[in-house]
Chain A
C-alpha cells in the first residue's frame, strides 16, 4: 500500500445518522419500505449542500463564463474557476491549470486517448490496460488502436483480483509501451491498485501512467504528487456531486504537448478562416459552454467530503466492508468475487440457484437497491468465468443496519428460489 491511498489511522468521530440527514433522498420509501441504497458505486446520492449550491446559482447568480463583461458573468466565472481550485486541492495538483473539466470519467479518458494517444504517441507504440477495467477504460484505447496503429496490451489479474505486477513488468519490458492506463479501484472487485508502485514501474520503462479514479476518490484521499502518476480522472456523480461533470488532471507539460480534443468556442486564442490558435491550458480542452452549474455542484460536493474528512470516511467504510464480508460469507451458496488485501466499499457476489437479476428484483421489493449485471466490465466477467454478479456498494451514508438488511434480504432470496 502506498502513502497516497492509506486510510489515515485515527478514526474521527463519525455520526452516520447525522450525516444521513444531509441527504434528503435517504428518507424516501420504495415499495412501501425504507430505502436501503447500496448502489452508490453506480452513482451516489447528493447532500443538500450540493443541491443548494446549484439552486442558489440558478436563483441568484448565473450567466455564461469567460464571456460577459458584466457582474453576473464575472461572479459566475469566479464560481466556475473556484471549482477548478477545489478539484486541484482535492487531487493535490501542483497547478490549477492542470485541471480540465469534462462531462465524466469516460470523456476524460477519451480526451487522453484522442489528444495524447493520437497527438503524442506514435504508431507502433503500445498502451497497457488491465483485465479489470471498466469499459470506459477499454473502448477508447481500442478505438485508438484501430485508428492510429497503437498496440493494446492487457495485463492480467491474480486469482485474488489484484494486479499481477510481475506480468505487468514483462509487458513493459520491450520499452514500446507509451502509456499504462489502469483503474485505481475496481468497480467490481473493490481492489485498490498500488498507485505509487505502478507509477514507478511505468516510469522505469519510459511509460506514462493514467489512473481511473472514478471509484478510488470516493473512499480515500488522493494525492497525484505522492502517487507521481501522469494522468488522473474521476467523475463527479459518484463523489456525491451532480452528473455531467468530471475532471482530468494531467501534468502541465503533457497538456501543453497535446492537441485539443474538441474544437469550438472558449478553446481558442484567435480564429480566422486560415487558422486558429489554441487557448492556454486548460481552456484549450474545454470547448463550448462548460457544465457551469455542475462544476459549482461538484465544488460543493468536494467541500462536503473534505469537511467530513477522508480519514473518517475511510475508517467508517472499512468497518462497513469488514461487516459486509463477514455477514455475506455466512450465507450458504454465496460466492464473493475478489479478495484483494487492499479494497474499498464494493462487494460483488453470486448466489447459488438465483440469477443476479432475480436477486436484484427480490432485494428491490424489500427496499434494497443493488446493481446486477456485468457492471460495464464484460472482459472481467469473462476472466472470472461468469456473466454477471450482484453488487452492493457503500457510501459515507451507509450503515451497519443496512448491511444487516442486505444479509437478511439475501437469506429470504435464497429461500424463495430454494
Chain B
C-alpha cells in the first residue's frame, strides 16, 4: 500500500529519524540557532563547535519534528563536520535544490561526496507540503553560521 512512499521514507530516513546520532546539545559550542516551522510548530535547536581555523568541528541538535526533519538534521550534523562556513552554505544551497527538484546540483568532489549522503532526501520533492520539513535544519544551520539566533522555514 505504501510502495510509492518508499521514495519519501527510505530506510536511511526512517533509521535516522528514529535513532538520530547527533540528537543532543553540545557540551561546548561556538554558535547556536533555533529554527521554527510556523506552519506546523516543529522546531530545532542547533549547536556548532568550530575548529581553531573556524571550520565546523562538530554539530549537535535537539528537535521536535517528523521523521523527515529529524533525519535531515542528523544527516546534516554528520556531513557538515570539517566544512568551513562557505562550503556548509554551498551544501545547504544544494540541499535546497535537491529537495525542490529531486536532482542534485553539480558540486566539486569533496562536497559532491557529502551531497551523495543526502540523496535519500531527494524523494521529498514529490511532496510539496513536506519540503520545509527537510529544509528546516538547514535554515537553522545558515542562521548559526551567520550568528543570528532564529530562523524560520518560511
Contact = CB atoms under 8 A, between A and B. Distances in A.
Contact of B5 (A355, A362, A387): A362
28 contacts: A31-B4, A355-B66, A355-B67, A356-B40, A357-B40, A357-B42, A357-B130, A358-B66, A361-B127, A361-B129, A361-B130, A362-B5, A365-B1, A365-B2, A365-B4, A365-B5, A366-B1, A374-B40, A374-B41, A378-B41, A381-B41, A387-B41, A387-B64, A388-B40, A412-B1, A412-B2, A417-B14, A417-B67
Interface residues of A, number: 21
Contacts of A290: none
Interface of B: 1-2, 4-5, 8-9, 14, 18, 39-43, 64-68, 127, 129-130, 133
Contacts of B8: 361
Interface string A3-19: 00000000000000000
A412 B67 CA distance: 16
User: 8 tightest CB-CB pairs across the interface, nearest first?
Assistant: A355-B66, A357-B66, A374-B41, A373-B40, A387-B41, A387-B64, A388-B41, A358-B66
Contacts of B67: 354-355, 358, 417
A51 B38 CA distance: 33
Given A378-B41, A381-B41, A357 B68 contact: yes
A381 B36 CA distance: 15
Interface in A317-374: 353-358, 361-362, 365-366, 372-374
A416 interface: yes
Contacts of B68: 357-358
B56 to A, nearest CB: 27
Contacts of A417: 14, 18, 67
Contacts of A381: 41
A378 B42 CA distance: 11
A357 B4 CA distance: 17
Given A356-B40, A358-B67, A366-B1, 13 more contacts: A354-B67, A357-B40, A358-B9, A358-B66, A361-B130, A365-B2, A365-B4, A381-B41, A387-B42, A387-B43, A388-B40, A388-B42, A417-B67
Nearest to A416: B2
Interface of A: 31, 353-358, 361-362, 365-366, 372-374, 378, 381, 387-388, 412, 416-417
Nearest to B132: A357
Contacts of A416: 2, 5, 9
B9 A372 contact: no
Contacts of A353: 18
A373 B41 contact: yes
A294 to B, nearest CB: 26
A373 B153 CA distance: 15
B43 A373 contact: no
Contacts of A357: 40, 42, 65-66, 68, 130, 133
Contacts of B39: 373
Contacts of B9: 358, 416
A372 B40 contact: yes
Contacts of B127: 361
Contacts of B1: 365-366, 412
